[in-house]
């Protein structure tokens, strides 16, 4: 005898099933414009004690992410760091995640691209928040709250 499932039968719970990036994204306040200097970016990174800043273009759309590691060669102030703008540095650029994207797919994309954080933008490119690899992994590993309940 073979067991068949009817369309109305509940599906077995699978971790992360149905979650989207919107379920996992977090706000991020530390941003800088792409025409700001590397000196300014280093000052913000140091004073806010954060590892990365989101970069916005002149229209306010998300342009990418600049990290402490990416600016390592500019840490020592010199005549060039007050002239070089963040937009001219090598930093993570789009494409970015969108809120309706499946969380499992986003986690795979982050793994493939070796990203620890990924900006989440709306259809016009404006920042909504960030997705971290750690948060995605935690949410995908935890079964939904209704799984196993009676």
Question: Please, what is the average pLDDT of the chain?
Answer: 81
Write out the two tokens for 101: 């994207």
Higher pLDDT among residues 144 and 66, named by residue:
66
Residue 72 covered by a domain:
yes
- Domain range holding 33? 21-141
Contact 140, 108 (CB under 8 A): no
Residue 9 covered by a domain:
no
What was the pLDDT predicted at 145?
57
pLDDT band at 13 (very low <50, low <70, confident <90, very high): very low
**Phi-psi bin for 95: left (phi > 0), alpha (psi -120 to 50), beta?**
beta
What was the pLDDT predicted at 78?
59
Residue 61 covered by a domain:
yes
What was the pLDDT predicted at 85?
85
Q: CA geometry: angle at 135 spanning 45 and 123, to 5°?
A: 80
Residue 63 covered by a domain:
yes
Is the pLDDT at 5 greater than 90, yes or no?
no
Q: How many domains does the chain have?
A: 1
Q: How large is the average pLDDT for residues 74-96? A: 73
Residue 78 covered by a domain:
yes
What was the pLDDT predicted at 105?
95
Q: What CATH number should be reported for the domain holding residue 37?
A: 3.10.580.10
Which segment of 57-66, 76-85, 102-111 scores lowest on mean pLDDT?
76-85
Q: What is the dihedral of CA 97, 103, 89, 36, to 10 degrees?
A: 60
Residue 12 covered by a domain:
no
pLDDT band at 14 (very low <50, low <70, confident <90, very high): very low
What was the pLDDT predicted at 77?
57
Residue 8 covered by a domain:
no
Residue 13 covered by a domain:
no
């Amino acid at each position: 005898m073979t067991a068949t499932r009817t369309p109305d039968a509940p599906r077995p719970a699978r971790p992360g099933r149905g979650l989207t990036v919107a379920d996992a994204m977090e706000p991020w306040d530390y941003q800088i414009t792409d025409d700001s200097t590397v000196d300014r970016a280093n000052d913000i990174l140091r004073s806010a004690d954060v590892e990365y800043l989101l970069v916005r273009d002149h229209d306010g759309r998300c342009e990418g992410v600049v990290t402490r590691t990416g600016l390592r060669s500019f840490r020592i102030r010199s005549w060039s760091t007050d002239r070089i703008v963040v937009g001219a540095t090598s930093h993570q650029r789009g494409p970015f995640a969108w809120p309706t994207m499946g969380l499992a797919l986003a986690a795979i994309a982050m793994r493939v691209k070796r990203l620890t954080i990924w900006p989440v933008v709306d259809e016009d490119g404006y920042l909504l928040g960030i997705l971290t690899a750690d948060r995605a992994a935690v949410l995908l590993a935890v079964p939904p709250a209704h799984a196993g309940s009676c």
